[in-house]
């Protein structure tokens, strides 16, 4: 009788994925994630006081960057990276050399499915990214590539190949990702609904992207995942992931990439202070009534064939059309350009035509 191998299977994409975590505190939360995260490389972006020591549990492979490191690496271009805001996480996207990124907040823990089984959020994100999306025609059984599902009757065979998936957007149990007014009205509300579904966000449809449980193909869409200017010295906060999501989505639509939302769930453990949040958000709540129509009507020229070209064009349109809403957007448009310049310095572009081409 052959001996049973005790060797553990190699985790999916072990050498192709970085986990990016923004933090201001010791990362004790990693203990709960150890069975799922330990095989992977972590990039920790320390926010706030760079002299503070951040303790990371033993056994994890990681690199840690604080504000001094960001200034040293980017020089004057460090101005595009937010300070005292979780938007600083996008610096981790920039310095990574891996194909994929998973980012999570340090107040997010392992959730359980209805059977009581712990959810390997990272594994589900990888499954989402490695299977196609269907942005141009909605499948009423949601993700047709999941086990036990398929394309329903009437779905065009010419579209069943789908398109490459650029982003996987996960959800949360317990504390919902609400804005401050909703928090104030529903202070005790908790999300207990587990919906076993993954679906593609349709083309030309925007969505509120949450950065606390998010994965993406860095090589495909990374330059578009800029979390803007937030936090210290800025008039707005808590719109970093929203801004990135709106920019990313219009670029994915233009280049023919897909975005998925739904599974996996994480357990969001801590409700932030709604009064503090309101102070950060109140301008954004007004501004989004003009910024969202702007993104809904953005048109990118056909010669924008790479993410970088799309993003630079988008920055021009932000400066032209949103700066009249508030001077902040003029500053943000300049920061968008700086971000791309910094990205390209750390990640020299491949020869024209070799990557991020239009696939329509």
How confident is residue 350, by pLDDT bands cut at 50, 70 and 90?
Answer: confident
Q: Considering the domain boundaries, does residue 350 fall inside one? A: no
Q: Considering the domain boundaries, does residue 320 fall inside one? A: no
The residue range of the domain holding 105 is 17-296
User: Which pLDDT score is estimated for 356?
Assistant: 43
Give yes or no for residue 234 having a pLDDT over 80.
Answer: yes
pLDDT tens-digit map of 45-77: 999 999 999 999 999 999 999 999 999 999 999
Nearest to 100 by CA among 18, 43, 204: 18
Q: Considering the domain boundaries, does residue 268 fall inside one? A: yes
Q: Are 13 and 51 in contact (CB under 8 A)?
A: no
Mean pLDDT for the stretch of residues 274-286: 96
Give yes or no for residue 264 having a pLDDT over 80.
Answer: yes
Give yes or no for residue 261 having a pLDDT over 80.
Answer: yes
User: Which pLDDT score is estimated for 1?
Assistant: 44
Q: Considering the domain boundaries, does residue 137 fall inside one? A: yes
Q: Considering the domain boundaries, does residue 277 fall inside one? A: yes
* CB crowding 10-34: b at 16 or more within 10 Å, else e: ebbbeeebbbbbbbeeebebbeebe
pLDDT tens-digit map of 100-155: 999 999 999 999 999 999 999 999 999 999 999 999 999 999 999 999 999 999 99
Structurally, how many domains does the chain consist of?
Answer: 1
Mean pLDDT in the chain?
95
Mean pLDDT for the stretch of residues 21-26: 97
User: Which pLDDT score is estimated for 351?
Assistant: 53
Q: The domain spanning residue 235 has which CATH number?
A: 3.90.550
Q: Considering the domain boundaries, does residue 348 fall inside one? A: no
Q: Considering the domain boundaries, does residue 347 fall inside one? A: no
Q: Are 325 and 290 in contact (CB under 8 A)?
A: yes
Helix, strand or coil for residue 185?
helix
């Amino acid at each position: 009788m052959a001996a049973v191998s005790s060797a553990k299977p190699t985790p999916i994409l072990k050498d192709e994925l970085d986990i990016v975590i923004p933090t201001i505190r010791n990362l004790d939360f990693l203990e709960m994630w150890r069975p799922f995260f330990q095989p992977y490389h972590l990039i920790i972006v320390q926010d706030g006081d760079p002299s503070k020591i951040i303790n990371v549990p033993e056994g994890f492979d990681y690199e840690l960057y604080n504000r001094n490191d960001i200034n040293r690496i980017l020089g004057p271009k460090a101005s595009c990276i937010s300070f005292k805001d979780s938007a600083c996480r996008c610096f981790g996207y920039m310095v990574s050399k891996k194909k994929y990124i998973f980012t999570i907040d340090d107040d997010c823990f392992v959730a359980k499915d209805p059977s009581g089984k712990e959810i390997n959020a990272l594994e589900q994100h990888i499954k989402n990214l490695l299977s196609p999306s269907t942005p141009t025609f909605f499948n009423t059984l949601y993700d047709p590539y999941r086990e036990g599902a398929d394309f329903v009757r009437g779905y065009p065979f010419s579209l069943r190949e789908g398109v490459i998936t650029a982003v996987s957007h996960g959800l949360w149990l317990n504390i919902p990702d609400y804005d401050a007014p909703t928090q104030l009205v529903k202070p005790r509300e908790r999300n207990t609904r587990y919906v076993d579904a993954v679906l593609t966000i349709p083309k030309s449809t925007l969505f509120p992207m949450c950065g606390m449980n998010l994965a993406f193909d860095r090589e495909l869409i990374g330059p578009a995942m800029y979390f803007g200017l937030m936090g210290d010295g800025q008039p707005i906060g808590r719109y970093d992931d929203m801004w990135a999501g709106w920019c990313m989505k219009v670029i994915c639509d233009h280049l023919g990439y897909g975005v998925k939302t739904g599974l996996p769930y994480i357990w969001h453990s801590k409700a932030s202070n709604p009064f503090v949040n309101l102070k950060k958000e109140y301008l954004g709540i007004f501004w989004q009534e003009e910024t969202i129509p702007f993104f809904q009507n953005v048109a990118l020229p056909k010669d924008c064939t790479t993410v970088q070209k799309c993003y630079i064009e988008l920055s021009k349109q932000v400066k032209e059309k949103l700066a009249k809403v508030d001077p902040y957007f003029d500053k943000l448009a300049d920061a968008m350009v700086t971000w791309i310049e910094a990205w390209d310095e750390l990640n020299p572009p491949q020869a024209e035509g070799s990557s991020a081409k239009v696939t329509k």
